[in-house]
Amino acid sequence: MVRLYTKDLNIGYHEHLIVKNLNIEIPDQKITAIIGPNGCGKSTLLKTLTRIITPQSGTVVLDGKQIFNENTKVLARKMAILPQTPESPGGLTVGELVSYGRFPYQKGFGHLTKKDYEVIDWALEVTGTIQFKYRPVDSLSGGQRQRVWIAMALAQEMDIIFLDEPTTYLDMAHQLEVLELLQKLNVEQGRTIVMVLHDLNQAARFADYIIALKDGKIVKAGNGEEVMTRDVLKQVFHIDAEIGRDPRTNKPICLTYHLVKGE
């Protein structure tokens, strides 16, 4: 039995359902990517998995408990969220931002303990951002900033981290840097990673499990081999794709594509 799964999840308002009757299981200690066209409900699903949105019906279960009834601070020690392009207040330093990851462990006015400081430095170390500790977050590049936010999530000492398009607006090298960091967190520390991705080839390369959504429903869920097929991509993105193999990683890769014509 996996730790995190959804049960008959309906998300949306009244007649307008964004996600319909969804049952998914998130594999433990694996990297899961959610893909799909714009408006398919990827981000909405991610927000519901992290209790930001309350579903109309159905539920999300973590460790045998419905997350919407769980103590939210207790949840924050198990899961962390990285929203799409979060902005930080001007002048906030990297060290301060990462220290807020300790919030779920604090009471009252939140004085940091010795252990908190250790965890913060460790998180900065792991993400390779320790040298920026005293710099304002908004003075960093996009890729560095993204790593700092990941460090904040790590300071929560969570098991599961959710990311909404963590590579958006980054150049290719920085995209890879972020994804490799996430892979490292998964392989070395056994953390479960769930992310919405736009780039299919990145999903195929880094994710163990891919969930392809369209109109709020699962078209296909499985490993890269199973999801990155001509048929699935046609259904999900309405494209006619040529699938090949990445000569370096031997993972499936979308070489080129056309729009499906005549419909």
Partner 1 sequence: MTAKTERSIPFIYKFIVAILALAGMFWIAMMLGATNTTIKDVWLALTSHVKNERILMIRELRLPREMAAIFVGAALATSGAMMQGITRNPLADPGLLGLTAGANAALAVTMAFIPSANYLYITIACFIGAAVGSLLVFGIGAMKKGGFSPLRMVLAGSAVSTFLYAVAEGVGIYFKISKDVSMWTAGGFIGTSWHQLQIIVPFIAIGMLISLFLSRQLTILSLNEEVAVGLGQKTMQIKAILFLAIVLLAGASVALAGNMTFIGLMVPHIVRTMVGTDYRFIIPMSAVLGATLMLLADTLGRTINAPYETPVAAIVAIMGLPFFLFIVHKGGKVLS
HSE at residue 196, side-chain half, CA atoms within 13 A, is 24
Structure tokens at 129: 């951002």
Sign, Cα dihedral of 62, 21, 83, 126: positive
Residues 143-172 that bind partner 1 (CB under 8 A): 156
Cross-strand bridge partners of residue 88 = none
Q: Build a one-symbol-per-residue string for 169-208: x at contacts with partner 1 by CB under 8 A, - elsewhere.
A: ----------------------------------------
Q: Does 255 bind partner 1 (CB under 8 A)?
A: no
DSSP conformation class of 57 = E
> Does 68 help bind partner 1 (rule: CB under 8 A)?
no
By CB under 8 A, name the one of 23, 66, 72, 249 that touches partner 1.
72
| 79-82 vs 192-196, strand pairing mode | unpaired
From the list 223, 176, 182, 220, the residue with the least C-alpha distance to 202 is: 176
Q: How far is the CB of 189 from partner 1 (least distance, A)?
A: 19
Q: Which helix (H) or strand (E) segment is 142 a member of? A: helix 142-155
Residue 175: how many CB atoms within 10 A of its CB? 20
- What's the closest the beta carbon of residue 53 comes to partner 1, in angstroms? 10
Cβ proximity of 239 and 233 under 8 Å: yes
How near is the Cβ of 64 to partner 1 at its closest, in Å?
A: 19
88 counts as binding partner 1 under rule CB under 8 A: yes
Q: Which of 89, 169, 244, 256 binds partner 1 (CB under 8 A)?
A: 89
φ/ψ of residue 45, rounded to 5? -65, -45
Token pair for 201: 């080839």
Question: In this chain, which stretch among 133-141, 171-179, 183-191, 203-211 interacts with partner 1, using CB under 8 A?
Answer: 133-141
Among 110, 113, 184, 246, binds partner 1 (CB under 8 A): 110
Helix axis angle, 172-189 relative to 142-155, nearest 10°? 20
Looking at the Cβ atoms of 51 and 220, the one nearer to partner 1 is 51
Per CB under 8 A, the list member of 6, 24, 32, 51 interacting with partner 1 is: 51
Among 39, 63, 92, 112, binds partner 1 (CB under 8 A): 92
Which residues would be at the binding site for partner 1 (CB under 8 A)? 47, 50-52, 72-77, 79-81, 83, 86-93, 96-97, 100-101, 103-104, 106, 108-110, 134-136, 156
